Structure formats: structure tokens, C-alpha cells
Amino acid sequence: MLDLLVIGAGLAGLSAAVAAAKAGLNVRVIAKGQGVTHWHAGTLDVLGYLPLTDAPIQAPLAASQTLPPEHPYRLLGETRLRDALAMFSDWLAASKLAYPSSATPDQNLWLPSAVGAVRPTFLAPQAQLAGDVSRPEPMLIVGFHGLRDFYPQWIVENLTKQGYLARAAFLPLNMINELLERNNVQLAEQLEPPSARGRLAAALKKLCQPGERIGLPAILGVNEHLAVWQDLQTEVDAPIFEIPTLPPSVPGIRLYRALQQQLMAAGGRIEMNMEALAFKAEGQQIQWVETATSARPLKHYAKNFLLATGGVLGGGFNSDHTGRFWETIFDLPLTVPQDRNAWFRHQFLHPQGQPVFSGGVLVNDHFQPVEQNGTPVYNNLWAVGGVLAHADPIRERSLEGIAIATGISATQGMIAQTHAGV
């Protein structure tokens, strides 16, 4: 019998599963697909802008406690949030994918985006750090002719408008790629052989002037990333940073693989292509969750269940033309209005976001889904990450922070509450 069945293999589900496995629980992750991790920027955003005012945030941990009391960060409290992020970055370091913390413990980093906006994040992979706009060195942003997701002159024009020193340059794409397709993941794989790295390093060396740092699209290797990035820096003799591109995301895939490795090493398992279709509860106790597989439906029995299916994007919710909006597995109580008229604003980039995306599953401060009156819906069910109500993680730039911290904290709470594993 499993101690814990985690549903969803995004950052929330994997964080929970790794925490559980490292605590000695028998844990399995089932997922329909790979979650949003393969699409996002690969950074760990905790809180970038305040939800109502859109004010930029410098100290996200402190600011997290100024949010409304129902927000997942307020349910966590600053200490649980801080501890979970620290634990998570330790795991990544152990997988040789370092996300170094800044010298000041509660400080957002501001990094250039692929259109030259400056994006706030809390922890960034080592290979993105040199993009920190507070550093003095001028930036050389290098693109490749014909690469459809990266336009260095646009980045430079916007950085310049904001007062940062930057210039643009191009290299031919066939230096790294002869394929018909020009997918970022394929390009990253093409850069892995040492000969390809060498060609790129030589070209960059010619372009780069002393004292500059070099920004490139985030395609510096997938599995061999660390070697590719380090070799380039050494040979060019300049700081090199990656700028995340449109999905699919190479930094996101690296992050997923590092977590997968941590989970395997701790004895956990991930099973993909398993969409949860049904469940059975007796009283307040969930007995099993059933998934579709090619041959037959499969029942997953477990002592505890953790819902980490994500928000609208991850697949945690579905909706229809009548205005019905529901949680896809347990049909849990939601805060979302059952009226399409109340879901949207007329402006796409409205600073307060689209109301439909801040709705979700109501939980108590143990992250157990609750009814409107506060009583848990099931005794052995927890919900974490994008399914949670009272946050719009993409709008606030809190996507990874909420996923990781609620995933880890809920699991720790569950272990303490049920004494399941230890």
C-alpha cells in the first residue's frame, strides 16, 4: 500500500513527492503529462508584483505576508515559505543544477526577458545569473539568423530605453543546426557535442569586447548543460547568461529532469500518461483513484492523496460554455463564479488579471481542501500548487514559489499529522 499518491508531475507534485520520498514514505506520482515545467522560464519566481497595485516587489518573502489572508503564502507563513525554498534549492544543487541564493536572503533578481523587459525572480539557475541588470558590465545580446524565438535588437532596444548598456549581434544558425526544424530543445541538444561548443565559443570570442557579458537564448545544452555553459565561459573568457525563450523551455526541462533524478534516488516513482478518471471514497476517506491506461483502468490505492494537477493551464480545472467550472478529479468546492460574464476583463494585459484565474480550491492552513464552512472535504486529501484559490500565480509571478512551498509544506504537515512514514 502506498503511503502517498501524488496526482500531477509539475513542480508542486514533484516537490511534494521528493519531500515525501526523502522522509521515507512509499510514494508514487501519476500524471497525465509533464505539467507546466516544460513551458515556463526555468526560474523560481516567488512574488514579482503585488496583485492589486502591480507594484514591483524587491523583498518577496516579506511582501508575501502583506498579501490578503486567504492567499496561499499567508496560509504558509514566511518561515515555512523560506524553509521550503531552501530545501528545494538544496535538492537542485545535489543534482548539479545550482540555483544560487543571493547574498541578501530576501531579494528579487531582475533579469532580461526575450523581449527586453526586466523580469523579477527569486532564484535563477546559475546560467541566468549574469543577466542581473544591476551588474555594471555592458551586455552583448547574441542571436542567430532565422531563429524564430529570439530577436536581439528588440531586446537591446528595450534594455537601452530602460537605461541598461546593451548591444546586439547575430551569428548564422547553421553554426549549430542543420535540421529542418528549429525547435529550441533540438538546438540545445545540437550544442552538446564538444565540437559544436567549440565553434560557438570561437565565434563569440570574436564578437565580444573586453568587459562585456554575453546573453544568449536558453539553448546551452540539456543533459550536458553545465559542461556546455562552463566551457563557453572559459573559452570566451566572459560571463555568459541564458535568456529564457518561448515554450518548449530548455531550462524548464533541465529543472524537471533534476527533480525526477532526486525523486528516483529517494525511491519514488513517476508514471506518465495516466489521467485520473474516477475515485472512491468511504465517508471522509478516499480509497483509490482510477486512471486510464492503454490496457485497462487501474486503481491506485493509497493512505494519502495529494492533488497537484495545476490550474487551468496544468489541467486541474475544466470549464464549459454554460459557465460551469470544475476541479477535474474530486469536483472539490471552488471559489470560481459559475458565470462566464464574471471571468474576464476587457483588457488582456489588465494589471489586476482575469478574475477566473485567481479562483480555485479552498484549503485550510494544512492545505486540506475544505467546504465553505471550513471542514475538510476528505481526511486524507491535500491540495497544492496551481489548484489553490486566492492567487493568480502567473499574474503575480508566484508560480514556482507557490508550487514548491505548498508542495513541500503540505507533505511535511501530512507526515506530522498522520505519522505515516516516520
DSSP codes of every residue in 284-342: TEEEEEEEE-SSS-EEEEEEEEEE---STTTTSEEE-TTS-EEETTT---B-S-S-GGG
Give the list of residues 6+ apart from residue 365 with CB closer than 8 angstroms, or none: 75, 76
We find the least distance from the C-beta atom of residue 319 to another protein, in angstroms, to be 4
Measured distance CA(322)–CA(345) in Å, rounded: 18
C-alpha cell at 366: 494544512
DSSP SS3 for 345: coil
We find the least distance from the C-beta atom of residue 91 to another protein, in angstroms, to be 22
DSSP codes of every residue in 104-155: SSS--EEEE-TTS-EEEESB--GGGGGG-TTS-SPEEEEEEET-TT--HHHH
Cβ atoms 342, 329 nearer than 8 A:
no
Measured distance CA(28)–CA(7) in Å, rounded: 9
Closer by beta carbon to another protein, 346 or else 419: 346
We find the least distance from the C-beta atom of residue 240 to another protein, in angstroms, to be 16
Element (H, E) at 87: helix 78-94
We find the least distance from the C-beta atom of residue 198 to another protein, in angstroms, to be 17
Closer by beta carbon to another protein, 180 or else 422: 180
We find the least distance from the C-beta atom of residue 301 to another protein, in angstroms, to be 30
We find the least distance from the C-beta atom of residue 157 to another protein, in angstroms, to be 7
DSSP SS3 for 260: helix
Cβ atoms 119, 110 nearer than 8 A:
yes
In Å, how far from its chain's centre is CA 15?
A: 11
Closer by beta carbon to another protein, 244 or else 421: 244
Which amino acid is located at 181 in the chain? E
Closer by beta carbon to another protein, 252 or else 268: 252
We find the least distance from the C-beta atom of residue 119 to another protein, in angstroms, to be 4
Cβ atoms 46, 375 nearer than 8 A:
no
We find the least distance from the C-beta atom of residue 250 to another protein, in angstroms, to be 12
Which amino acid is located at 376 in the chain? P
We find the least distance from the C-beta atom of residue 366 to another protein, in angstroms, to be 27
Count of H-run helices and E-run strands, the chain: 11, 15
Closer by beta carbon to another protein, 148 or else 299: 148
Measured distance CA(162)–CA(198) in Å, rounded: 34
CB neighbours of residue 326 within 10 Å: 15
